[in-house]
Amino acid sequence: MRYFPLFFDTRNRRLLIVGGGEVAARKLALWRRSEMSITLVSPSLNEELSGRRAEFTWLPGEFHDDLIEGMDGVIAATDDEALNRRVADLARAAGAWVNVVDDPDSCSVITPAIVDRTPMVVAIGSEGAAPVLVKELRRRIESLLPASLGHLARFMGRARYKVPLQERRRVWERFLASNGLQWDPVRSESRFEQACRGGVAESWVLMVSPDVEVSRLPLGALQLMQECDALWHQGVLPPALDELCRRDASRLAIAGALPEVRGKVMLVADADQQLALAGQLQGGRVIRIELGRLSG
């Protein structure tokens, strides 16, 4: 992964856009969603930028080196390749990140396609390799996420501290299971209250062989792996299986007797050992993957 996806705080940050044409207008349309203070330098502005003068500070004139000083980020969006590269070199030397339109090798950052349901944001990128594929994925994700998702996220942000830390994930899982991803100003709050009242915590063990072909795992197994509270394994844990389990799930190498099952557990063990291990389990039902399906 050459380009690592990262969200950064744009408050009290300064951005310089070099250029006054169509490309600069597209960059402004994207970055005006942030809280960065935007300065644009260009001898002239196209019609779109002229109509958005309230959204940025315009420095009429040619770019000069001193404009880089104090900037946190710089976007080179002119039709002059030599000027764009010069801007990129100056930005790097000043410690600012830089994005150069249509020149990935001159960029220290690239901007992804964004699905915006603030505060929920989905960013999609291909390291500049497949922009049409990125556009198609963005279109599909846009159609899947309801417009009210941002309202739901803000509600969950306000309500999260009403739930004890040790119960938080379970409560939100119950809430989302009953509410879905739509924000309903009448029903969502009552569904949250119902989720807080809770119920009996589910407990199970998903048995997985270390040599399983990850690409052939059933969808149900993948979903269960993302719900696991703990990942137990005999011997070396295959990295491919480790990646599929929740990052915040505890990891435990098993050498002797199995601990008591509390919550949702994924147990990675050789197929010929699974039956014996199932007999040792205390609490929780056992789920196996048989012939590409879940059983148990």
Domain architecture of the chain: domains with CATH: 1-111 (3.40.50.720), 112-145 (3.30.160.110), 149-197 (no CATH), 204-295 (3.40.1010)
pLDDT recorded at residue 132: 95
**Above 80 in pLDDT, residue 18?**
yes
Q: Are 229 and 284 in contact (CB under 8 A)?
A: no
pLDDT tens column, 132-178:
999 999 999 999 999 999 999 999 999 999 999 888 988 998 899 88
Q: Are 214 and 249 in contact (CB under 8 A)?
A: no
pLDDT tens column, 215-250:
888 888 888 888 888 999 988 999 999 999 888 889
Q: Are 24 and 63 in contact (CB under 8 A)?
A: no
Give the pair of three-digit tokens for residue 284. 């929780």
pLDDT tens column, 55-84:
999 999 999 999 999 999 999 999 999 999
pTM: 0.71
pLDDT recorded at residue 291: 64
More confident residue, 151 or 179: 151
pLDDT recorded at residue 32: 96
pLDDT recorded at residue 120: 96
Taking alpha carbons only, the member of 10, 14, 100, 12 closest to residue 59 is: 14
Give CA–CA dist 195/64, Å, rounded.
59
Taking alpha carbons only, the member of 13, 30, 19 closest to residue 71 is: 13
**Above 90 in pLDDT, residue 264?**
no
**Above 80 in pLDDT, residue 267?**
yes
- Of all residues in the chain, the percent with pLDDT exceeding 70 is 97
pLDDT recorded at residue 258: 82
Which of 27-36, 51-60, 112-121, 197-206 has the weakest average pLDDT? Answer: 197-206
Taking alpha carbons only, the member of 18, 56, 54 closest to residue 37 is: 56
Mean pLDDT for all residues in the chain: 91
**Above 80 in pLDDT, residue 199?**
no
- Angle CA(125)–CA(127)–CA(132) in degrees, nearest 5? 60
The pLDDT-based confidence of 22 (bands split at 50, 70, 90) is very high
Q: What's the full length of the chain, in residues?
A: 296
Give CA–CA dist 146/65, Å, rounded.
45
- Of all residues in the chain, the percent with pLDDT exceeding 90 is 63
pLDDT tens column, 104-116:
899 999 999 999 9
The pLDDT-based confidence of 201 (bands split at 50, 70, 90) is low
pLDDT recorded at residue 162: 92
Give CA–CA dist 203/284, Å, rounded.
5
**Above 90 in pLDDT, residue 88?**
yes
